[in-house]
Chain A
């Protein structure tokens, strides 16, 4: 996907200095708004950081949020590498949650965990991929723009789920639009439980084994995108479609497959949330995880290491932001959404904004 103005900086500076400056710009604007609403930005930043990383419990929650963001970040990045902007992560994660829920509600009292959990994961991947397949297919074969289609698919997913949860999946006799609690067989073990089994005591948090899967997924993503035949095709299509076609790559097949992989990755966000934490599905379980993925991928520049770091940043922002909102009632969790928007603006739309300034510095050094 083509971005803004080209950069002439060395690659390492492009990958470190520019995102850091962009992040700083986003934080400065946030600081200004914080000051405007009558709070001390510096104090708030300290509260935020200590809320996210200052205690074992805080770190646990931070890493739990990070897990979902890594998956949706990888999802958006996969599509980006093929030149596609997948805004539909939210809807894909939502539908993946449906897949998980259907499997759990059908089998959680009959199948053992070792069969049930993988089955749920497959269902999540399948449903997520299927929901991404349609926009992918429409883009590749019918020429409809993926961005508009995925936006529309988010709304369609939302209406569909509202209907399904409200009319069919709702727990009998319940007023809240949620399903019944999943049977224990479908719970993915939390990290503190696993650690307790090995004799290590950790504070109890929703951080679960999905986190390990997220790290594995990052490794796989790296190998797939940069060291496989398919990854080469993917990136070629992303850089220049006509060149790819000329080289004998099936562009439409690559696009469709990229979207399916993207949707399947988004699906893991539902696994993390439903099987790892809430153990029941409600109407708002995705809570914007798909949208955060966009910011994560943009800031991480579509590289797994960058994605882990920026997912950690957003995980920290989410957890620290919640802690901060307890301390400072005037600062709500929407502040985090605002920061997220600024990061999308500075790291995505204006990614090389500070490039001329930095390039000037580099040039002077070379001249000496």
Chain B
């Protein structure tokens, strides 16, 4: 029981940045703009947030800096994809490369610690929060355990993410903006004829994507590790992209995809060096590779069919 709780607990921790990045990708891709730059946006956000939190001693200013850094890269991507009609894939690739180059350069120049930022002290980090009565209820069987061990004791960013999920879902499916977003991603010409500004919708979608990636990056550096470490996103952006595809570009299934990948990751750490019956030791790489293999199989239509928004990756040129 203890084991299971701690497994689920780390699943939530690992899943949080994935969920945020996957939702960021969903905004962008639902509007018809491919976003393979999630990784880069998270990375600059992680760096900017850690640097700002270290200098200002405030995690909240760190969060703000993280969001600003991520949004500025998102706007570069928006300029290339929407205003300039450039190649979105190449732009995303450029964003990832720029991010993994600039963060250690600035980190070394500003903090002289081999490209990382100094460890944040307690005041400048996000902390675990105990939900009300968590201590009092911790001895109540099952429900008390569930509440105090699993639901309580996470960072404010985790609870924020939990709130964001239904909000995003509502925005995409129920709001006016969501309707336009989906219309622009499926058939920009029709949306344009109906008087929707394709460019405006795409800019807004990329902006919110940038905000979400900013929170995701901040989570990694200002909460999880307490400092920026070179290349600390380590493929999480692509994992989020995989989860997004896995969820067929829909918010809730994408979140489930993130939870699944995070669970596999949490499980893998516990299985390290453990002899299982019949199969023996499972190499950690075999589990790490699962999300990527699943995504490939899904894209190939071997497990269901992943149907991307129709206008994805195609620059919109207004018909005259």
Chain A residues with Cβ below 8 Å from B285 are 159-160, 162-163, 166
Per the bound structure, the CA–CA distance linking A75 and B54 in Å amounts to: 44
Q: Is the CB of B98 within 8 A of A138?
A: no
Do the beta carbons of A148 and B295 come within 8 Å of each other? Answer: yes
Asked if B100 and A344 sit within 8 Å, CB to CB, the answer is no
CA distance A340 to B80 in the complex (A): 17
Select from chain A the residue with minimum beta-carbon distance to B112: A330
Segment at the interface with A among B81-89, B124-132, B199-207: B81-89
Cβ–Cβ contact A85 & B90, under 8 A = yes
Q: Chain A residue with minimal CB distance to B98? A: A341
A296 to B308 alpha-carbon distance, docked (Å): 30
Does A5 lie at the interface of the complex (its beta carbon under 8 Å from any beta carbon of B)?
yes
Tell me the count of chain A residues lying within 8 A, CB to CB, of chain B: 53
Q: Find the A residue at minimum CB distance from B40.
A: A341
Chain A residues, Cβ within 8 Å of B283: 163, 167
Q: Is B93 a contact of A4 with CB atoms below 8 Å?
A: no
B308 cross-chain contacts in A, Cβ below 8 A: 145
Q: Which residues of A contact B94 (CB under 8 A)?
A: 341-342, 344-345, 348-349
Instruction: Please name all residues of chain A whose beta carbon is closer than 8 Å to the beta carbon of B108 when the two chains form the complex.
Output: 330, 332
Looking across the interface, which residue of chain B has its beta carbon closest to that of A137?
Answer: B300
In the bound complex, do residue A153 and residue B296 qualify as a contact, i.e. CB atoms below 8 Å apart? yes
Does A226 belong to the interface (CB within 8 Å)? no
Contacting pair A348 B85 (CB below 8 A): no
Which residues of B235-294 are within 8 A (CB) of A? Answer: 235, 238, 241-242, 245, 283, 285-286, 288-289, 292-293
Q: CB-nearest residue of chain A relative to B238? A: A151
Kindly state the separation between the CA atoms of A144 and B285 in the bound complex, as whole angstroms: 24
B96 within 8 A of partner (CB): yes
> Which residue of A1, A38, A151 is within 8 Å of B87 (Cβ)?
A1
In the bound complex, do residue B289 and residue A144 qualify as a contact, i.e. CB atoms below 8 Å apart? no
Residues on the B chain within 8 Å of A344, using CB: 90, 93-94, 97
Among B87, B102, B230, point to the contact of A349 (Cβ < 8 A).
B87
Distance between Cα atoms of A145 and B91 in the complex (Å): 17
Q: Does B166 contact A (CB under 8 A)?
A: no
Digitize A183-205: 1 where CB-to-B-CB distance is under 8 Å, 0 elsewhere: 00000000000000000000000
From A37, A85, A156, A337, B100 is in contact (CB under 8 Å) with: A337
Name the one of A37, A298, A330, A341 contacting B95, with C-beta atoms under 8 angstroms.
Answer: A341
Q: Establish whether residues A348 and B101, one from each chain, have CB atoms under 8 Å apart when the complex forms.
A: no
Q: Is B304 an interface residue (CB 8 A)?
A: no
Q: Which of A4, A138, A148, A332 contacts B86 (CB 8 A)?
A: A4
- Enumerate chain B residues within 8 angstroms of A162, measured Cβ to Cβ: 285
A37 touches B105 (CB 8 A): yes
Instruction: Tell me the bound Cα distance from A87 to B245 in angstroms.
Output: 18
In the assembled complex, B106 has its CB within 8 A of some CB on chain A? yes
Q: Which of B29-68 contact A (CB under 8 A)?
A: 34, 36
Count of residues in B whose CB is under 8 Å from the partner chain:
51
Q: Does B217 contact A (CB under 8 A)?
A: no
Interface check A119, CB cutoff 8 A: no
Which chain A residues numbered 291 to 316 have a C-beta less than 8 Å away from chain B?
Answer: 291, 294-295, 298
Q: Is the CB of B98 within 8 A of A353?
A: no
Most buried by A among B93, B99, B242, B286: B93
Whether A298 pairs with B90 at a CB distance below 8 angstroms is yes
Nearest residue, chain B, Cβ from A87: B93
Q: Given A5-B85, A349-B86, A350-B84, answer yes or no on A334-B36 (Cβ-Cβ < 8 Å).
A: no
Complex Cα spacing A351 to B101, Å: 21
Q: Give the contacts of A19-40 with B (CB-CB under 8 A).
A: 33, 36-38
- Given A4-B84, A87-B93, CB of A334 within 8 Å of CB of B105: yes
Decide if B90 touches A341 in the complex (CB within 8 Å): no
A346: min CB distance to chain B, Å: 8
- Which of B36, B88, B89, B301 has the most chain A CB atoms closer than 10 A to its own CB? B89
User: Quick check: B292 and A155 within 8 Å, CB to CB?
Assistant: yes
Q: A148-B241, A159-B288 are in contact. Are A340 and B84 (CB under 8 A)?
A: no
Contacts of A335 in B (CB 8 A): 101, 105
Taking the complex as formed, is B104 at the interface, i.e. its CB lies under 8 A from any CB of chain A?
yes
Which chain A residues have a beta carbon within 8 Å of chain B's beta carbons?
1-5, 33, 36-38, 85, 87, 138, 142-145, 147-149, 151-153, 155-156, 159-160, 162-163, 166-167, 291, 294-295, 298, 330-332, 334-342, 344-345, 348-351, 353
Interface residues of B, Cβ cutoff 8 Å to A:
34, 36, 76, 80, 84-91, 93-106, 108-110, 115, 230, 235, 238, 241-242, 245, 283, 285-286, 288-289, 292-293, 295-296, 299-302, 308, 315
The 10 A-B residue pairs with the shortest CB-CB distance, nearest first, are: A338-B101, A341-B97, A341-B98, A337-B101, A144-B299, A37-B109, A345-B94, A349-B91, A348-B90, A344-B94
